[in-house]
Chain A
Amino acid sequence: DTAVSQTPKYLVTQMGNDKSIKCEQNLGHDTMYWYKQDSKKFLKIMFSYNNKELIINETVPNRFSPKSPDKAHLNLHINSLELGDSAVYFCASSPLGVGADTQYFGPGTRLTVL
């Protein structure tokens, strides 16, 4: 299936741990994004990568570090997890050129920090 996929779907961990969330898209898109959806359902952009290059880096703690090994993957690594990091994290992708305005979202990763 062509899609944006994320792993894991659920992640429960203790404060202070380091964890990673993986994202892959097989749509051939050039741009990928990470969004955070908090408990009030607000979705906020965290990062955007275009062809493996960081183009958007909103004000997020530097404990969050995106890694793009190739243009089909954008992983999110989080160090020293805090309670406030609990949220649903969505990966998305979009093409350049025609259709660039539409972003395709993954199913989300629900992170719970205890």
Chain B
Amino acid sequence: KQEVTQIPAALSVPEGENLVLNCSFTDSAIYNLQWFRQDPGKGLTSLLLIQSSQREQTSGRLNASLDKSSGRSTLYIAASQPGDSATYLCAVRPGSARQLTFGSGTQLTVLP
């Protein structure tokens, strides 16, 4: 059974810092991995999607990497801003099934 773990559970940084969020999964037989952002009282917004054959994806100040063999992914946020404050969720899609298995998230606070 696939399990997804995110560390740390919460992170507080001053504005402008670069930071890394970690995600690990127990079964390396994944189809893809996604990073989502969840704002309080709102739904999830997809940030980056990495296919199992890819090593990384970039979008603006965000960079996500994937090491499938070790069951790890990182989300790198450059030059953090207060508007980046949210909960970041990692999710894997196992094989041919379309449902996602989520981690419990990292709650990020960027202090002005």
- Chain A residues in the interface with B (C-beta under 8 A): 4, 31, 33, 35, 40-45, 48, 55-56, 58, 90, 92, 94, 100-108
| A–B complex contacts, Cβ < 8 Å, 6 sampled | A42-B103, A45-B99, A48-B98, A55-B98, A101-B49, A102-B34
Residues of A within 8 A of B46 (CB): 102-104
A-side binding surface: helix, strand, loop or mixed? strand
A102 to B89, CA, bound (A): 14
Determine whether the beta carbon of B44 is less than 8 Å from that of A101: no
B-side binding surface: helix, strand, loop or mixed? strand
- Answer yes or no: B79 CB below 8 A from chain A CBs: no
Determine whether the beta carbon of A43 is less than 8 Å from that of B89: yes
Residues of B within 8 A of A41 (CB): 87, 104-105
- Answer yes or no: B43 CB below 8 A from chain A CBs: yes
A4-B43 in contact given A101-B34, A101-B49, A101-B93 (Cβ < 8 Å) = yes
Residues of A within 8 A of B97 (CB): 56
- Answer yes or no: B60 CB below 8 A from chain A CBs: no
Most buried by B among A94, A100, A102, A103: A103
Determine whether the beta carbon of A106 is less than 8 Å from that of B98: no
Residues of A within 8 A of B93 (CB): 101
- Answer yes or no: B81 CB below 8 A from chain A CBs: no
Residues of A within 8 A of B89 (CB): 43
* B103 nearest CB neighbor, chain A only: A42
Determine whether the beta carbon of B41 is less than 8 Å from that of A107: yes
A35 to B87, CA, bound (A): 17
A108 to B93, CA, bound (A): 21
- Looking at the complex, which one of A40, A102, A105 makes contact with B104 (CB distance below 8 Å)? A40
Residues of A within 8 A of B104 (CB): 40-42
How far is the CB of B42 from the nearest CB of chain A, in Å?
A: 5
